[in-house]
Amino acid sequence: MFSKSHRTAGDPPASVTSFVLAIMAATLAATTATSPASAAKVVWANNGHAYEYVGAGTDWASAQADALSKGGYLVTITSADEQAFIYDNVTKTGGWGGSSDAETEGVWKWVTGPEAGTAFGYSNWAAGEPNNYGGYEDYLLIGPPGYGWNDSGSRVGDSYAYVIEYDELSTPGAVPEPATWAMLILGFGLLGAAMRRSRSIVRRAFA
């Protein structure tokens, strides 16, 4: 009797422990495998940033609003290497990027992300661009490889895909979503209860 209880000191019943751990492991595995937010993101090892191509066309302001709502920003391409990575891994057709000359015509700068307010170092304008065609082109539209960047407008009909850049998601999908946290908290709670029950069995045996 005594030796049997003593053997379980500080150690919850194996069946309960393994059950709880199985719930927690399954929850983590399911999140990692099925998180839709991570499916389209690609991480560039050079800066740890994640890039996401959104194929649904929209105007520049709506694209930036969507990027912000997701915790990112319209992409800022500040080196030939970053441009090459995007062409090779994110999109070959391009889309809106985070630059504008809306504030002062002809003065292009980054207006999104950590580079907001800074002038271009690297640029990839297509031949003859930016040309402010029609007098209304104030937003950066990344063109395909071999062409380059164009300035485009934000009128109805100026509807394009876009690229979102994320600074904080060097391992997208690794951050458990709220439902997962609830399951993990439940799991830890059950584990704690099992351990307390085990200790009370031991105390009763000693009493």
Binding mask 109-148 for Ca ion (x = CB under 5 A): --------------------x-x-x---x-----------
For the CB of residue 97, give the shortest distance to Ca ion in the complex, in Å.
9
Q: In the structure encoding, which two tokens stand for residue 34, read together? A: 């099925």
For the CB of residue 117, give the shortest distance to Ca ion in the complex, in Å.
14
Establish if 83 lies at the interface with Ca ion (CB under 5 A): no
The β-bridge partners of 141 are 96, 150
Beta strands 149-152 and 50-58, pairing class = unpaired
For residue 28, the number of C-alpha atoms closer than 13 Å in the C-beta half-sphere is 10
For the CB of residue 82, give the shortest distance to Ca ion in the complex, in Å.
6
Establish if 101 lies at the interface with Ca ion (CB under 5 A): no
* DSSP, residue by residue, 56-125: EEE-HHHHHHHHHHTT-EE----SHHHHHHHHHHT-SS-EEEEEE-SSSTT--EE-SGGGTTPBPSS--B
For the CB of residue 173, give the shortest distance to Ca ion in the complex, in Å.
21
Q: Between 52 and 151, name the residue whose CB sits nearer to Ca ion.
A: 151
Q: Between 124 and 150, name the residue whose CB sits nearer to Ca ion.
A: 150
